[in-house]
Structure 1
Amino acid sequence: MDVRDYLRAVRRSWWLVLLAVMVSLGVATLVTVQTKPRYVASVTYFVTVPNQGVSEAYQGGIFMQQRVKSYTDLLKSDRLAQSVVAKNPLGLTAEEVQARIGASTVPDTVLLRGTVTDTDATRALRLTEAVSAQFVELVKAVETPPEGRTAPIKVEVISGPRVSSVPVSPKPPFNLSVGGLAGLLVGIGLAVLRTRFDNRLRDAVGLQRATGSPLLGEIPFDPAARTAPLIVGDAASSPRAEAVRKLRTNLRFVDVHEPARVIAVTSALQGEGKTTLSCNLAIALAEAGWRVALVDADLRRPKLAEYLNLEASVGLTDVLLGDVSVGDVVQRWGDKSLLVLPAGSIPPNPSELLGSKAMADLLLVLRESADIVVIDTAPLRTVTDGVVVAVQADGALVVSRYGRTDRGQIAAAAQALQSVSVRMLGCVLNMAKLGRAETDQYESYRIDVPPAPAAAPAERTGPPAAATSSGFFGQERAADPTQELTRLRR
């Protein structure tokens, strides 16, 4: 991962980073509130050699610097703590006194600094006074020769004892800063780990690798699609509509020598937008002048008639059962060369119906009447209906929703198609997130058009699209599709 990948990971999981920072700040605040204030009293000693001549000053200075280092351990020794407790009872044991004492040297000097840390400022000061007095006596006793001569080293108090009026801990600004920084680092780490272990599809490259087929389009996410899923009216000039038109172009040139006329649109899971894409793709193809037949072959959860505002009581199921003729139930949508065959009633055996000879015969009739047949099928990972329909089509278009389907699911769906030798036309990444540059580019080429009313089914008198010698679409055809269907069933 490079820097841009890390930035994308943080931007994608910004809520996780924010949560980690908030939790860390909360913990830092709790620790700060519950920590008792601690005060520090200090005293500074000066270590020297009395009666030292000038010629011996240099060697004496080096000797004293080395000697002072050993006094830091002496200041924190058991002997000094026991002496302090014996002569200055403060309600503390020798171990407690020893734990409160600290010592340090000033580099390149003969100064020794002693500190006492306590939750009571008064007790810290009194303990420091006792320590400073007893330490001077202890050094004198340790350094005095046995012959009774004068001690060669002298320790004097030159500063203190004094106690700070402000507690040295806790430090709210410091604690909160450290807590916030720690939370930020933890949040970034979690965001990166989430990205590394997140198996959901979030880019076109991953989708192509999972399906083993070319990417034919990226349909951008459009909040307005929830209430207005079709690319008509104001949505006809949206980035989503332009992306569908680009998909239309790419789909028509997948293989110019063997173009796909019957296209099965499917997905790995439910809710990936395959039905909406089927409708919009059919509309875009009809806008380009193609005669399009749109079939709802998702016989378990049909939605196509609802999206297109069509009559849904009879449709594909009734045709396959032989109850009605396809010419009696196919419906023209709007003023475009688009015919729609809804799903009809939900049968108890969708897979058997879709794999029947009647379905194959119906597709032959539709192929004769239309230039392109778009079939909305069931999800591949849920039921086998989609595979059954895709086998009878010229190819399958696999739709995957951004951030919803993982690579394993889409790969298994593609494998289900490939295992029965279904021609993979390509894949589509639906509801993709566009960058600001891509959005601006769409807006710069956008053409404002007068709003048009949403298309609705044409009024009919008698059979909705009765088959005549001119075919479903009104153009001259080779044969009557309804009669052709009847002939093939015999």
Structure 2
Amino acid sequence: MEFRDYLNVLTRSWPVIIVLALVGALGGLGFAELRPATYESTARAIVSTPPAENVGDLGGALTFGQQAVSGYADLATTALVLQPVIDSLKLDTTVAQLARDVDVVPVTDQAALSVSVQASTPAGSARVANAIVAQLASAVSDLTGADADATGVELLAVDPAVAPAAPAGPPAWLLAVGGLLIGLVIALGIGLARELFDTRVRTPQDLARVTDTAVLGTTIRDAAAHRRPLVVRDAAGSRRAEDYRTVRSNLGFAGLDESKPSIVVTSALAGEGKSTAAANLALTVADLGRRVLLVDGDLRRPGLAKLLGIDGTTGLADVLVGGATFEQAVQRSVADAIDVLPAGTLPSNPNELAQSAAMDEFLDLVAAEYDLVIIDTPPLLAVSDAAVLSQRVGGTVVVAAANRVKRAQLDSALAVLDRADARVLGTVLTMVSNRDAEQSAVRYAQGPQGPGSESSAGASTATVRISRPADQQRSAW
């Protein structure tokens, strides 16, 4: 993943990050409030040896004290020491339980040890720590009593324990900060996992991971799209309508063969907005005064007639089987300035019709009469109709719906076109969220840009890539 991908994780996951960070912080504060108060006191003692008469005796005494202190530390948590402490202080505990609350640390280079005790009260922790040191000193004296005159070894308390002013452990604010950090780490982990395992296409950058094919444009997601699908006609000033004009402009630079002014519009899956894209693209080209024919080439589940509000009884299928002439089936829309050929009577052999000589004759006929013919076709991964038709037209436009189609599915669809030796003019990413559109920094208002070109100073670099033949310098539109 690139640095930009990590930034995308942050921007896409910020609600989760904020929620989990707050939950972590509140959890830390809650733990601080609910944890039982524990106080810790520490008493220190040293191993005392008799005065040395010479340097050799001094060295031996120091060595003995350093060796003895480790053994005394182990002795401090045994029943020999703790049971008398329990009895003298009348503690309601056992030797094993008390031993868990006692921490004895030997400091061998100083022949000293520290005894730390945790208890529920400040005074209790100090009282138990001092009692353990006193009882340990007594136990040492008893154990070494046989050699006391020879060695004179004693354990002396040098720093008695005092009652602590505050409970042991981290303060509440530190626990809150720790909880917040844990929440952030968990949230970032969730965001990274979603980025790594969720392979849905969201942005033009995701398209670039699948194919080098030009991105002709993107269209934003519109909650009113189902009520107002033809935005070029019904909401000409909207951002989504401008998105389709951008696709039109970039398609003009894609180098469509003038001898075959026909394109197939398809997608990997159903429901990606290909029919809506085909209709709006036809309307944008017609706005320039071009003669445009919109054909419903989906002879299985046609949708253009309903989308445009026209009669779809007679159409392409009837023309191909000889049941009607093109002039009888085509519907001319003066208001939209386009001609529409619906699917017509659904045949039992749509794939065979797509490969028939009648289809070739039809394409030759309309190529001579129109500046552009746009054919809406079935999804590539459902049936092979679109792949068959893509071999007979000047180019293919693949529509991909953001947050719906996965990269592997789009790659498979493009592979179908590649095996069919189809010419893919580019892709159109539909239903892009406003947030993803802004993050992608796609600036279509600047106009189409060729490979390697850069935006003007101070502007963001456009992500749209246009494949333009060397001999074609201007848009076909």
Same fold by TM (over 0.5)? yes
Change (3 A) 1:232 1:130: same
Deviations 1:367-417 (A, max 9, x none): 222121000111000122222322332221111122322222112111212
Question: Deviation digits for residues 60-115 of structure 1, max 9, x if unmatched?
Answer: 9x959968964654544554234435655534332222111023579998985433
Q: 1:258 to 1:325 in 2, by over 3 A?
A: closer
Structure 2: which amino acid aligns with 1:135? Answer: L
The Cα of 1:296 is off from its aligned counterpart by 1.1
> How far did residue 142 of structure 1 move?
5.4
For residue 38 of structure 2, what is the amino acid of its counterpart?
Answer: Y
Q: Aligned partner of 1:409: which letter? A: Q
**Map of 1:187-336 to 2, 5 A cutoff?**
187-208=187-208, 210-232=210-232, 235-255=235-255, 258=258, 260-336=260-336
Partner of 2:343, secondary structure, is: coil
Q: In the alignment, which residue of structure 2 is the partner of 1:435?
A: 438
Change (3 A) 1:90 1:207: same
The equivalent of 2:44 in structure 1 is 45
Provide the rounded CA distance (Å) in 2 between the counterparts of 1:133 and 1:49. 14
SS in 2 for 1:148: helix
Q: Output the CA distance in 2 between the equivalents of 1:179 and 1:290.
A: 64
- Report the 3-state secondary structure (helix = DSSP H, G, I; strand = E; otherwise coil) of the residue aligned with 2:194: helix
The amino acid that maps onto 2:429 is L
Question: 1:183 is matched with which residue?
Answer: 183
Change in CA separation of 1:119 and 1:415 when aligned onto 2, cut-off 3 Å: same
Q: Alpha-carbon deviation of 1:271?
A: 1.6
Using the TM superposition, give the Cα deviation of residue 192 of structure 1 relative to its aligned residue in structure 2, in angstroms: 2.0
Mark the CA change 1:252 to 1:158 in structure 2 (over 3 Å): closer, same or farther.
closer
Distance in 1 separating the partners of 2:270 and 2:181: 42
3-state SS of paired residue (1:270): coil
The sequence identity of aligned pairs, in percent, is: 33
Q: Which residue is equivalent to 2:397?
A: 397
* In 2, Cα distance between equivalents of 1:212 and 1:331: 38
Residue of structure 1 in register with 2:96 after alignment: 95
**Number of the residue aligned with 2:12:** 12
CA contact (8 A) 1:248 1:284 kept: yes
CA, structure 1 residues 397+369, in 2 after alignment: closer, same or farther (shift >3 Å)? same
Q: CA, structure 1 residues 353+119, in 2 after alignment: closer, same or farther (shift >3 Å)? A: farther
How far is the alpha carbon of 1:176 from its aligned partner?
A: 4.0
Secondary structure of the corresponding residue to residue 431 of structure 1: strand
Q: Could you report, residue by residue, the CA deviation over 1:109-137 in whole angstroms, capped at 9, with x for unpaired residues?
A: 89854332245778656644542431332
Deviation readout 1:261-298 (Å, 9 max, x if unpaired): 11000011112111111011101110111100001112
Structure 1 distance, partners of 2:221, 2:69, is 70
Q: In 2, are the aligned partners of 1:101 and 1:115 still within 8 Å (CA)?
A: yes
Q: Which amino acid counterpart does residue 98 of structure 1 have in structure 2? A: A
Cα contact 2:204–2:440 (8 A) shared by 1? no
> CA 1:368 to 1:90, structure 2 compared with 1: closer, same or farther past 3 Å?
same
Q: Which moved more, 1:228-237 or 1:371-380?
A: 228-237
Q: How many Å apart are 1:172 and its aligned residue? A: 5.3
* 2:469 corresponding residue in structure 1: none
Q: Deviations over 1:326-355 (max 9, x none)?
A: 322322234343101122344444323333
Aligned to 2:468: none
Match of 1:483 in 2: none
Contact map agreement 1:39 1:124 (CA 8 A) in 2: no
Alignment CA distance shift 1:68-1:31 (3 Å): farther
Distance 1:218 1:108, change over 3 A: farther
* Cα distance per residue 1:421-469 (max 9 Å; x no partner): 22222222223432279589859xxxxxxxxxxxxxxxxxxxxxxxxxx
Deviates more, 1:64-73 or 1:429-438: 64-73
**Could you say if the C-alpha distance between residues 442 and 185 of structure 1 is closer, same or farther in structure 2, counting changes exceeding 3 Å?**
same
Matched AA of 2:10: V
User: Any conservation in 2 of the 1:42–1:163 contact (CA below 8 Å)?
Assistant: yes
C-alpha distance in 2 between matches for 1:84 and 1:437: 72
Distance in 2, matches of 1:106 and 1:52, equals 21
User: Partners in 2 of 1:259 and 1:220 — Cα distance?
Assistant: 33
Question: Is this contact kept in 2: 1:104–1:114, CA < 8 A?
Answer: yes
Distance 2:403 2:339 in 1: 33
Q: Quick check: 1:344 aligned with 2:347?
A: no
What SS does structure 1 have at the residue aligned with 2:399? strand
For residues 47 and 237 of structure 1, the distance between their equivalents in structure 2, rounded to whole angstroms, comes to 88
Which residue of structure 2 aligns with residue 374 of structure 1?
374
Report the 3-state secondary structure (helix = DSSP H, G, I; strand = E; otherwise coil) of the residue aligned with 2:391: helix
Q: Relative to structure 1, is the Cα distance of residues 133 and 246 closer, same or farther in structure 2, using a 3 angstrom cutoff?
A: same
Unaligned runs of 5+ in 1: 444-490
Question: C-alpha separation between the residues in 1 aligned to 2:206 and 2:164?
Answer: 65
Contact 2:355 2:388 in 1 (8 A): yes
Number of equivalences? 438
What pairs up with 1:464-475 in 2 under 5 angstroms?
Answer: none
- Normalising by structure 1, we get a TM-score of 0.74
Between 1:142-151 and 1:178-187, the stretch displaced more is 142-151
Call closer, same or farther: CA 1:439–1:27 in 2, change over 3 Å: same
Find the aligned partners of 1:203 and 1:168 in 2 and give their Cα distance. 52
RMSD, matched Cα? 4.0
Shift of the 21–303 alpha-carbon distance from structure 1 to 2, 3 Å rule, reads farther
User: TM-score, with normalisation over the residues of structure 2?
Assistant: 0.76
Q: 1: CA distance between counterparts of 2:340 and 2:415?
A: 30
Counterpart residue type for residue 42 of structure 1: S
Q: Secondary structure at the match of 2:43?
A: strand
236-245 or 432-441, which deviates more: 432-441
**Aligned mates of 2:42, 2:141 — CA distance in 1:** 18
Partner Cα distance (2:333, 2:66) in 1: 99
> For residues 125 and 406 of structure 1, what CA distance do their matches in structure 2 show?
66
Whether the 8 Å CA contact 1:211–1:410 is kept in 2: the answer is no
Alpha-carbon distance in 1 for matches of 2:111, 2:80:
23
Instruction: State the distance in 2 between where 1:15 and 1:301 align.
Output: 40
Conserved? CA contact 1:47–1:68, under 8 Å? no
Contact 1:41–1:161 (CA under 8 A) maintained in structure 2:
no
